[in-house]
Chain A
Amino acid sequence: MTDAVVRARSIRKSFGDNEILKGINLDISTGDVVCVIGPSGSGKTTLLRCLNRLEAIDSGRIWIDGELLGYVEQADGRLLERRYEDLRRQRQNIGMVFQRFNLFPHLTALENVAEGPWKIKGQSRASAVASAEDLLSSVGLGDRMNFYPAQLSGGQQQRVAIARALAMEPKLMLFDEPTSALDPELVGEVLAVMKDLASTGMTMVVVTHEMSFAREVADHVIFMADGAIVEAGSPEQVLGNPQHRRTADFLARVG
């Protein structure tokens, strides 16, 4: 697996006595779209948050683009925790879209998107703004650039959030239930943007309850339950012909 953008081995994570991830293994190749489905409490969001180290893992290894995430392997084989400055360099390659958008409310849509290239990547203000304008236009918000998040609908906010993540030119995009906080009629516009993004060859990990999106866009579907991957494969296999009873039960419930 040389072209694996994400490689995870034996990921374990507990909150107190509650083990949320019980040994997850994952390989995601460049350009793949992976949808993670499963009942709430199955650990899918925690897994996603481990992939950019918003949560620190308890054991296991995660490599992003071939580089160990969060740690450096030393000559004697022991791991050394990466300093924040080093970790943030790694995180710049990983875009994240949150369930509750988490846009910066004191900045306009344009400023939200330009912030990363300008202040983190150190581009000139003019070029950051220009690329932010392009990105906002590409997600259909060319006429909303100077609006504050509070003046935008949920669907518009989430599209700004996607543009903000893309502005960092990441190699990997993580989506944490990006449509779960949206009114039903706004879900489509966000999924359409994500579908466009998938067609450009972006590597994406999407935690979602949108089965039609998974069926249509995903290269792989992972079904998780109780902190473990129960079943993984193509959407046809997992969604169309589940081999495990838990998968079949879950699919029957979400329709």
Chain B
Amino acid sequence: MPASSAGTSQVGDKQAPELPLNARRPPAWGRWIGGTAAGIFGVWVLYILVVTPNIHWDVVAAYIASGPILEGLWITIALSVISMAAGTVIGLVVAIMQLSQNPVLRIVAGGFSWFFRGTPLLVQLLFWFNLGVIFPRLEFGIPFGGPKLFGVEASIITPFIAGLLGLAINEGAYMSQIIRAGILSVDNGQREAAEAMGMSRAGIMGRIILPQAMRFILPPTGNQFISMLKTSSLVSIIAGSDLMTVVQRIYLGNFEVISMLIVASIWYLILTSVATVGQHFLEKKYSKGFDGRTSVRSKVLSNLAPISRRKPGFDD
């Protein structure tokens, strides 16, 4: 090594031995204390809940998988899933309308969101259920007294249908804002690149923008669905026979209010857990290309590739 006149700096010494770190972490006393305290508290709460004579666990056990409860559970699942699916479709359409260059579509979509987010869901449910009072017969055709194509009696609006209409349309208004925000979060360069290739508008939205927007749309949508599972209990006001309505009917008969509410809560917790797991897998599906872990894995794989197949300057 040539002597340096500027100082004693040395670089590139090949003789230096390996120096593994093997460093210890400073003890995290706070975590241990906090964890122990939380654990003791949790066990204590469970103990109280189990031994207290005021909660009739035998009643909970007797009802948890009984026929009426399972029927109500089924209605809750059907209401939530169908309303959420329909609400997402409505939300997608409204979001695209709101982002359109066509002012008519923008105003209609804005008005839709404004009205259905601005009025209480309870009122909307009552409105759909009582549609028959305002319009005894629902007819489709030319408005202002023109000929009618077909009509139905308003009595087809059962509590279930009214619940679906109310929940789906209300959900659509909220979903439209979530989807709109997701679409706006995608870099404008993506649209430009797709437009420059000559892609159709539907292709740009369906194949380029939305798959990327999903990363931003899914987490709040999971929230919405979990919220929907419980909000659907509002249909009890219009005599929909969902889980909550059934539970209320039962405790009005046997006065086991707490036990029956525990039955309902256990089922809601199970539904929410399933929804959370589903959300996790959906989020994973739409993180392709953004997922840090795949990047590391493929970097390892590329480093394992035979040297001869690598081209100079292509790795970094």
Contacts and interface: CB of A to CB of B under 8 A. Distances in A.
Interface of A: 52, 54, 84-85, 88-92, 94-96, 98, 100, 102-108, 115-116, 119-120, 140-141, 143-144, 147-151, 153, 155-156, 164-165, 168, 185-186, 188-189
Contacts of A143: 305, 309-311
17 contacts: A52-B196, A90-B198, A92-B197, A98-B189, A98-B192, A102-B189, A102-B190, A102-B193, A104-B193, A115-B197, A116-B198, A119-B207, A120-B199, A143-B311, A164-B197, A168-B197, A188-B313
Interface string B101-128: 0000000000000000000000000000
**Most chain-A Cβ atoms within 10 A of its Cβ — which of B198, B201, B286, B295?**
B198
Contacts of B286: 106
Contact of A147 (B189, B198, B203, B298): B298
B67 interface: no
A148 B290 CA distance: 8
Interface residue tally of chain B, by bracket? 20 to 34
Given A98-B189, A140-B311, A153 B316 contact: yes
The DSSP consensus for interface residues of chain B is: helix
Nearest to B316: A153
Given A85-B200, A104-B212, A120-B199, 9 more contacts: A54-B196, A103-B193, A104-B190, A105-B212, A106-B212, A106-B286, A120-B198, A153-B314, A153-B315
Contacts of B212: 104-106
B195 interface: yes
A106 B288 contact: yes
A185 B286 CA distance: 33
Interface string B202-216: 010001100110000
A90 B208 CA distance: 20
A150 B293 CA distance: 11
Contacts of A147: 298
Given A104-B208, A106-B288, A151 B197 contact: no
B276 to A, nearest CB: 24
Contacts of B207: 115, 119
B195 A91 contact: yes
B190 to A, nearest CB: 6
B190 A151 contact: no
Given A147-B298, A153-B314, A91 B196 contact: yes
A149 B212 CA distance: 14
B155 interface: no
Contacts of A186: 313, 316
